[in-house]
Amino acid sequence: MIKLGVNIDHVATLRQARYRETPDSPNAEPDPVAAALVAERAGAHGITAHLRLDRRHMQDRDIFALRKSVTTKLNLEMGNSGEVLEIALKVLPDDVCLVPENRREVTTEGGLDCAGQMASLRPTIDRLQESGIVVSLFIDPEEEQIAAAAELGAQFVELHTGAFANSTGGKREDELARLIKSAGLAHAAGLQVNAGHGLNSGNIRDVLPIPHLVELNIGHSIISRAVFCGLDSAVKEMLHLMNDA
């Protein structure tokens, strides 16, 4: 069974739209921790949250509160930042997924360049793993990046599915083929395989044939659907689509 990790960043995005300047207001809502608990009760296998350097959505206090509340698995996404690394080592999430960050981006736009950043990534990975944290690297489905992730000693890669999700026709088939091939290469290199980015109810069934998948991380689509039907129903609908297929 492929597991579902629910990314709750955009619950915090909505809160920050109104309460960025008054974060301690008793009216500050919605609460991402409450959202995490709803997602868990609905069947999510884990909760994902990204603590960005610019703090545009999740705040430090959210991550500490999630660690106290989440009972499934807490997956912290972070850039390769010394500042956020120190927070991660205090929070001790179950997993850390290292991702690229660009302050001008709307959301993560591509995979981490493991092959080109091995020297800077290695000490971060070592410190996380020494603290018992499982490390995943968010990468594009490219052989060079898979080889670098394996050499760095990460336990997981998370394949970036954005190019697949944003393409159509023959290009989409090509992107799916890249994902399938990359998952096989990662598995052969001793890496476990997650995937995510741009996945929704319209394309989720298409990615399920990717071999060796452990977990899919989905956020924006589930939170968007929750606007109309509630978070509990949105999580259950996604799980149904995954399990039915």
- What are the residue numbers of the active site? 50, 77, 197
Residue type, 188: A
Tokens of 173: 């088939």
